[in-house]
Amino acid sequence: MPPHQAERDTVLHSWSVPADWDAPTVVGGAGARFFLDDGRSILDFSSQSECCNLGHQHPEVVAAIKAQADRLCYIANAWGAAPRAELAELLLEKSGFSGGRVFFTLGGADANEHAVKFARLAKGMPRGTIVARERSYHGASYAAMALSGDSRTLAQVDPAQHGVIHALPPYAYRCEFGTDTDESCGMAAAAHIGDIVGGHREVVAVLMEPNAGTNGIVAPDSYWPALRTVTAEHDVLLIADEVMSGFGRCGEWFAWQRSGEAGRPDMMTLAKGLTGAHVPLGAVVLSAGVATQLEHKMIFTGLTYCGHPLACAAGVAAVKAYEAGNLIERSRRLGASMLAALQDMQSRHRVIGDVRGGHGLFAVLELVSDRSTREPLAPWPVTAPALKALVRDGLAAGVSFATRGNLVILAPPLVIEEHDVADALTLLDRLLTTHFPAEPEVLSA
Ligand SMILES: Cc1ncc(COP(=O)(O)O)c(C=O)c1O
């Protein structure tokens, strides 16, 4: 059977309807491109699931995986393994969590679940409450679904049973607090968390995405430091889910660093860019304060592959590759020019209601049917047929764009060539004209 047909008939794919699955087979990749079995080369403008931050087949990471495979593929977490220790040291150094510890997981969902376990253990409240928020995504295992405020998965789980409360998001374009600036929306959303925490006795932690996320919320700059202040005032832990926003995606190693020390969380969770997605790996980075609380307690948790040496070796090589390629700074620079190009597009396309992000190579376009009323193009989380057609035509023209509901999520690998960014944005501009024609007048928000 040809591979495409075998895959369609035998594999149950995630986030898809089996009967509708019909994706091409990918046989290779290099830099920001991946290659199809029919010989076509596709520019990856979403880094797959916003995870291939180093592009495809980064040579140093591939070499590190091969070298580690020759030495030692697996040893259980109970034993020591050199790449595990080296990666923990590197992560503590990059985040400035000196005296802290790192717990390695298999990906993002279990990193968040473990961060919750550690918060509860540190606070001595094994079933303590966690405040997360609506329009968030923290993974698709059961507890991670409970943490997520995600319309795709919420029906499958009762957050209350997992000790989770959902707060309103810092969604400045549609601010639920009736404010009129981004910054005041961020402050109001942080104060709202303070009200929730103050009103519940057993809250141990607040877990949130500091910046990039698949639900397309990019918090105003005022939000994260205000959230840090509020959580510290109430003596609850702040956990930054940096699974998507980490490793340069938002112009810093970790997005909270945009606020400097005023944004330092008590724990952060990592995955995706941690190995540039070459091998599955996640992590919880614990501050010295939290680590101290756990120092003499039994850690009753772990998965067989936690801290897998192959994955940790890939992680070490990935961190070194971000550093050697100056990729964090590069993401910040290219993100700023991508944002400027998108804002220019907004001035010409009335379908673009809002442009956000751009702190690094991550930006979101929110499409609307009426810019003056901000009427969504389709009710959330539906993707309008015209937007689906735009993505289809983009792929036919050699660029893979990601969408979610009314959002176009732009997140290419940090190694992407500058001319490739420009070409992809020119194509997007043309596709918007084709699929969302509008009168050629100068538009204002
Ligand atoms: C912010 C965030 N947290 C957690 C996850 C879950 O990570 P994983 O799919 O590795 O479990 C994701 C995945 O998209 C994410 O974007």
Give the pLDDT confidence of 202-245 residue by residue, as tens digits.
999 999 999 989 999 999 999 999 999 999 999 999 999 999 99
CATH of domain 326-414: 3.90.1150.10
Chain mean pLDDT for the chain: 96
From the CA of 359, how far away is ligand 1's center (Å)?
Answer: 20
Distance 350 CA to ligand 1 centre (A): 32
> In one letter, which amino acid is 9?
D
pTM score above 0.85: yes
Q: What Cα–Cα distance (Å) separates residue 181 from each residue in 184, 192, 347, 404?
A: 5, 16, 20, 25
Say yes or no to pLDDT of 442 above 70: no
Q: Tell how far the Cα of 243 is from the centroid of ligand 1, in angstroms.
A: 6
Minimum CA distance residue for ligand 1 atom 3: 138
pLDDT score at 439: 55
* Substitution site in 105, 137, 153 for ligand 1 pocket (most atoms within 8 Å of beta carbon): 137
Both tokens assigned to 438 = 């509008």
What's the maximum distance between 2 C-alpha atoms anywhere in the chain?
A: 67
Ligand 1 pocket, CB under 6 A: 49, 107-109, 112, 137-139, 209, 213-214, 241, 243-244, 271
CA of 280 to the centre of ligand 1 (A): 12
Residues 256, 210 contacting (CB under 8 angstroms): yes
State what percent of residues in the chain have pLDDT above 90. 96
Residue 332 has pLDDT above 70, yes or no: yes
244 C-alpha to ligand 1 centroid (Å): 7
Among protein residues, the one with the nearest Cα to ligand 1's atom 16 is: 244
Per-residue pLDDT reduced to its tens digit, 82-99? 999 999 999 999 999 999
Pocket test for ligand 1, best of 215, 243, 247, 305 (most atoms within 8 A of CB): 243
Q: Cα(179) to centroid of ligand 1, in Å?
A: 30
Of all atoms in ligand 1, which is nearest to the CA of residue 272?
10
Nearest-atom index, ligand 1, CA of 108: 7
Q: Give 26-29's long-range contacts (Cβ < 8 A, gap of 24+).
A: 28/56, 28/57, 29/55, 29/56, 29/57
CA–centroid distance, residue 237 to ligand 1 (Å): 20
Q: Do domains 60-322 and 326-414 have the same CATH topology?
A: no
Cα 148 to averaged position of ligand 1 atoms, centre (Å): 10
- H-assigned helices in 75-222: 82-95, 108-123, 142-147, 182-199
pLDDT tens for 32-69 read 999 999 999 999 999 999 999 999 999 999 999 999 99
State the pLDDT at residue 183.
Answer: 97
Contact 413, 54 (CB under 8 A): yes
Return all residues near 360 (Cβ < 8 A) that are at least 6 apart.
Answer: 248, 249, 250, 251, 252, 328, 331, 332, 334, 335, 414
Paired tokens of 136: 């968030």
C-alpha of residue 408 to centroid of ligand 1, in Å: 18
Q: Which of 147, 150, 207, 244 to mutate to test the pocket of ligand 1 (most atoms within 8 A of CB)?
A: 244
Q: What distance in angstroms lies between residue 372's CA and the mean position of ligand 1's atoms?
A: 34
Which atom of ligand 1 is least distant from the CA of 139? 6
How many whole angstroms from 173 Cα to the centroid of ligand 1?
24
Which atom of ligand 1 is nearest the CA belonging to 136?
1
Q: How many Å apart are CA 100 and CA 109, to the nearest integer?
A: 21
Within 13 Å of residue 191, how many CA atoms lie on the same side as its CB?
9
212 CA closest ligand 1 atom index: 1
* Phi, psi of 78, deg, nearest 5: -65, -25
Q: Where are the domains of the chain?
A: 60-322, 326-414
- pLDDT tens-digit profile of 64-77? 999 999 999 999 99
Can you list the positions of beta strands (E) in 302-406?
352-357, 363-370, 375-376, 399-400, 402-404
Q: What does the pLDDT read at residue 4?
A: 82
Q: What is the DSSP string of 183-229?
A: HHHHHHHHHHHHHHHHH-TTEEEEEE-SS--TT-----TTHHHHHHH
Pocket test for ligand 1, best of 53, 133, 136, 138 (most atoms within 8 A of CB): 138
CA-nearest residue for atom 4, ligand 1, is 138
The tens digit of pLDDT for each residue in 353-380 reads 999 999 999 999 999 999 999 999 999 9
Which overall architecture, per CATH, does domain 60-322 show? 3-Layer(aba) Sandwich (3.40)
